[in-house]
Amino acid sequence: MTLLRGGYVLMVLVAISILTFVFIRSQTIDPDRHYRITDRLRLLKQYDAILSQDTLKLRANLLGHYDSLVESLDQISGLIADLEAGPVAIVGKGRPEIDRLVESYARAHAERRKMLERFKKRNATLRNSLLYFPSAVEKFLAGIKNQREYERTFRSLEILTRDVLVDYVDKSSGLHPRLQSRIDMLVSLSDRMPSDVGEQISSLMSHARIIGSHKREVSEILEVVLSGNMSNIAENIYNSYQTQHVNSQKTERIFTFLLYMSSVLLMACIINILFRLAQATHRLSQANETLERRVEARTKELTQEIIERKRVEAAAREHQEEMARVLRINMMGEMASALAHEINQPLAAIMNYARGCLLRIRAKKFKRDEFGSAIEEICAQAERASKVVHHIREFVKKPAFSRKPMDLNELVVSAAKFAEIELRHSEVRVEFDLAERLPAVPVDSIQIEQVILNLIRNSIDAMQELEVTSRLITIRTSANNGSALDIAVCDIGSGVPDSIAEKIFDPFFTTKSQGVGMGLAISRTIVEAHSGRLWNTSNSGRGATFGFTIPYRREGESHVL
């Protein structure tokens, strides 16, 4: 059962793991994040476009300030920081490609930022010089126009100014390479001129230089910025993100389907388990019912058997009781002379008293008081005889099965009294060694009395050979282990020879000339009917001890059949 349950737990764990894996794979796209990223990529393209637009306007002098340029650059920097910091909502091989693109865009953006800073610086200076140079030249030329010593300078400055402006307007004019040396020439000329004129010329030439060089630098920067390279990267990022998103959606759909399938499977498994559980419960209740029916039937059979057995036992007991009774009657027969003597004695006494009374009545010399005591004596003697007869009658009557708690000491004394006549006749002394406070044991008193009497009579018989003075029977009662009582009759007679020791309890075995050999056999049957045991031992001196042990139930102990 434990193994089975362990298997179930394992199966459930495996199922949960599989479901979890499939679930995670089917949840790769976080819509919120996806929209945010899409939004950022879209804005990136948008600001990139605005930036290009502004740059174009700046080149065409349509935009007078750099605020929007600065703002677009800041926005793009913020977008890049966001894209670089936040994980893109794509799992799989598309992710590194997008990261690489974003990284390359970030690098290009930093470079562009730097270039645009240079552009702002150069453009400002360029515009200043462009504004100033032509008018300053004009003003300067107007000042020296009619001075003959500056005629050559005047002319070359006029041509240079025209060429600088042409070069500014038309890059492909081819004038630029020679412009530098002509400017240098004019500067060196100015050194030989009076300081105020010379300074003015060198100042003008620095503006001319700036127009030439800054124009080129600014154009180069703008060309790079406007080359479309950045916009392409931004477009690429956007496109590959979308492609990857579509791919992950496909994967997600597959795993969603798998999730659905495994959920269905799991449900089927659960339903199956529940169904089997229901079946098992049903089978179990059926089995229970069958079992109950069988138990009932068996109980009935057993009850029948018990009744039958009781009936048989009752018959056996009846038979045994009948046997015991027959034996008691037989025993009475054997004891008849002794019993007759016992009855005869009071009868003789009665007769004597009665005769004495009669003589006195006939002689007419009597005292009234003497009759009284004589008749009292007659009554006492008659009662004594009646008791004996009653005892005999009780002993031989067909008894009803009855077990009452009895004091075994009492039974011992009663049995001894029964045997008194024989004892007296055989001149055997009896000694009692009775344990005090023996518990009352439920026994059939007549049968147990029969056993004791039988043992006493056997002992009397065993001591016929002995000297009259030494004939002694000791009757002993004792508690054995607190769960049984021992009653032992001990004599100092001939004992039990080893040759017959095994046969003495057999029916019809006897050593007596007049016995039927049923005494010990029936005694054993009676004791065993009381769950007891009849036993005998040889005494250490001489003689034998016969006894029996009757177990009894202690207070509170359950009744054992």
Partner 1 sequence: MRHQPTYILFAAICLVAAAVLWLSIIAAPTEDARTSKAWHSMPPATLTAEAIRPLPEQTFQDPRKVALGRELFHDPRLSHDDTLACASCHVLAMGGTDRVARSIGIGGAVSAVNAPTVFNSGFNFVQFWDGRAATLEDQIDGPIHDPGELGSNWAEILRKLRRDPDYMDAFEDIYRDGLHRDNVKDAIATYERSLVTPNARFDKFLRGDADAIAEQEKIGYQRFSSLGCISCHQGLNVGGNMFQEFGVMGDYFADRGGITEADYGRYNVTGEDEDRYVFKVPSLRNVALTAPYFHDGSAQTLQEAVRVMGKYQLGRNLQADEIASLVAFLNTLTGEFDGARK
Where along the sequence are the contacts to partner 1 (CB under 8 A)? 5, 8, 12, 16, 19-20, 23-24, 27, 30, 32-33, 36, 39-40, 43, 46-47, 50, 54, 57, 62-72, 74-75, 78-79, 81-82, 85-86, 117-118, 120-121, 123-125, 127-129, 131-132, 136, 203, 206-207, 270, 273-274, 277-278, 280-281, 284
Angle subtended at Cα 394 by Cα 389 and Cα 397, rounded to the nearest 5 degrees: 115
Report which of 489, 485, 476 is spatially closest to residue 532, judged by C-alpha positions.
485
Give least dist CB 183 to partner 1, A: 15
Compute the least distance from the CB of residue 410 to partner 1, in Å. Answer: 57
Q: 479 has which bridge partners?
A: 485
Neighbours of 471 (CB within 10 A): 22
The minimum distance between CB 553 and partner 1, in angstroms, equals: 38
What's the closest the beta carbon of residue 234 comes to partner 1, in angstroms?
15
To partner 1, the closest distance from the beta carbon of 153 in angstroms equals: 20
Nearer CB in complex with partner 1: 118/162: 118
Nearer to partner 1, 214 or 524 (CB): 214
Bridge partners, 488 (sequence order) = 476, 547
Q: Using the minimum distance from each CB to partner 1, give the nearer residue, 76 or 462.
A: 76
Of 53 and 478, which has the nearer Cβ to partner 1?
53
- 3-class DSSP state for residue 64? coil
State in Å, rounded, how far the first CA of the chain is from the last one.
Answer: 40
Q: Which is nearer to partner 1, 86 or 497 (CB)?
A: 86
| Structure tokens belonging to residue 537 | 């031992």
C-alpha–C-alpha distance, residues 201 and 450, integer Å:
171
Residue reference for tokens 């019993």: 339
Q: Considering the complex, what minimum distance in angstroms separates the CB of residue 287 from partner 1? A: 11
Q: Which is nearer to partner 1, 61 or 173 (CB)?
A: 61
Torsion angle of the four alpha carbons 351, 357, 363, 366, in this order, in degrees rounded to the nearest 10 = 160
Instruction: Write down the H helix ranges in 335-367.
Output: 336-363
| Rounded Cα gap, residues 239 and 41, in angstroms | 9
Looking at the Cβ atoms of 47 and 150, the one nearer to partner 1 is 47
Neighbours of 93 (CB within 10 A): 9
* Cβ distance to partner 1 smaller for residue 31 or 541: 31
- What residues form DSSP beta bridges with 477? 434, 487
**Residue 449 CB, nearest distance to partner 1 (Å)?**
58
Residues sharing a CB contact under 8 Å with residue 150, sequence separation 6 or more, in sequence order: 144, 193, 197
Q: How far is the CB of 279 from partner 1 (least distance, A)?
A: 10
